[in-house]
C-alpha cells in the first residue's frame, strides 16, 4: 500500500511537492518547542506567539535546504523532492547513528513505524559540525512511496559496514 495522505500546517501540498525540494514537518504534538522556527534562514516556519502551537510551513518560501531537519529534537522534519526524476523521489531524514550509510548503498526503506516499505538507494549523506551529531541521509525511492518512506532499516547499514 502506498500514498499515505497527510495533512496539517507543516505538510506541503502535492502541488508544491511536485515542484521540487521542500520540508515536510510532521509535528503534531502541542509541546513547548520552536527551534525549527529559529533554524529556518528563509522564515518559512512559524510557530507563532503560542509556543505550544504547531509549526506552520510557508511552502512557497521553503527551498528544501534541509537545515531544519537536524534542528528538530523530535526528529519530526523530513525533506522531500518529488521532482527528482520521472520515476523516483528523494526523501531526507535525520540520522543519529553510526555507522552512517554510504552513498550508492542499497537499503531497505521503512515507514514511520519501522515497517518495510520498499528498496531504495542512498543518494546523499550530509554531515556538518553545525548539525550537532545528526546527519541528513537522503534516499532515492520509487516515486509512489514519497509520503510513506521516512527511514531505513539500520541492520542493513551495519551489515554493509561489517563486510568492509
Ligand atoms: S528546508 Fe530550509 S527553507 Fe525549508 S523550512 Fe527547512 S530550513 Fe526553511
Ligand atoms: S522543532 Fe520539531 S518538535 Fe519542535 S516545534 Fe519544530 S517540528 Fe515540532
pLDDT above 90 (res 87)? yes
Backbone dihedral region of 123: left (phi > 0), alpha (psi from -120 to 50 degrees) or beta? alpha
Q: Is 62 in the pocket of ligand 1 (CB under 6 A)?
A: yes
Pocket mutation for ligand 2, best pick of 6, 8, 24, 33 (most atoms within 8 Å of C-beta): 33
Residue 157's pLDDT band (boundaries 50, 70, 90)? Answer: confident
Residues 6+ apart with CB under 8 A from 73: 33, 35
Q: If you classify domain 7-83 with CATH, what class do you get?
A: alpha beta
CA distance 110 to 116: 4
- In this predicted structure, what is the pLDDT of residue 48? 77
Query: Each residue of 19-39: pLDDT tens digit?
Result: 999 999 999 888 888 999 999
- In this predicted structure, what is the pLDDT of residue 163? 42
Q: How far is the CA of 98 from the centre of ligand 2 (A)?
A: 24
Q: Is 58 in the pocket of ligand 1 (CB under 6 A)?
A: no
Pocket mutation for ligand 1, best pick of 27, 58, 66 (most atoms within 8 Å of C-beta): 66
Query: Each residue of 114-138: pLDDT tens digit?
Result: 999 999 999 999 998 877 789 999 9
Which atom of ligand 1 lies closest to the CA of 67?
A: 7
Domain ranges of the chain: 7-83, 93-139+149-164
pLDDT above 90 (res 11)? yes
Q: Considering just the CA atoms, what is the radius of gyration of the chain in Å?
A: 15
Element (H, E) at 93: strand 88-95
Q: Cell digits for 56?
A: 506552520
Q: What are the phi and psi torsion angles at 155 (to 5°)? A: -60, -40
- In this predicted structure, what is the pLDDT of residue 6? 86
* DSSP, res 40: -
- In this predicted structure, what is the pLDDT of residue 7? 86
pLDDT > 70: percent of the chain: 95
pTM of the model: 0.93
Q: Is 12 in the pocket of ligand 1 (CB under 6 A)?
A: no
pLDDT > 90: percent of the chain: 77
- In this predicted structure, what is the pLDDT of residue 2? 65
CA distance 101 to 154: 9
* Residue of the CA atom closest to atom 8 of ligand 2: 27
Amino acid at each position: 500500500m502506498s500514498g499515505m495522505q497527510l495533512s496539517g500546517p507543516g505538510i506541503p501540498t502535492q502541488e508544491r511537492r511536485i515542484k521540487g525540494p521542500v520540508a515536510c514537518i510532521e509535528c503534531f504534538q502541542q509541546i513547548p518547542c520552536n527551534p525549527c522556527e529559529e533554524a529556518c534562514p528563509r522564515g518559512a516556519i512559524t510557530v507563532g506567539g503560542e509556543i505550544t502551537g504547531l509549526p506552520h510551513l510557508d511552502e512557497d518560501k521553503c527551498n528544501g535546504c534541509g537545515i531544519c531537519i537536524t534542528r528538530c529534537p523530535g526528529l519530526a522534519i523530513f525533506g522531500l523532492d518529488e521532482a527528482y526524476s520521472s520515476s523516483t523521489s528523494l526523501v531526507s531524514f535525520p540520522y543519529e547513528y553510526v555507522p552512517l550509510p554510504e552513498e550508492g548503498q542499497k537499503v531497505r526503506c521503512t515507514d514511520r513505524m519501522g515497517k518495510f516499505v520498499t528498496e531504495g538507494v542512498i543518494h546523499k549523506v550530509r554531515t556538518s559540525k553545525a548539525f550537532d551529531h545528526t546527519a541528513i541521509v537522503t534516499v532515492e525511492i520509487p516515486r509512489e512511496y514519497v509520503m510513506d518512506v521516512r527511514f531505513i532499516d539500520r541492520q542493513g547499514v551495519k551489515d554493509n559496514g561489517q563486510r568492509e
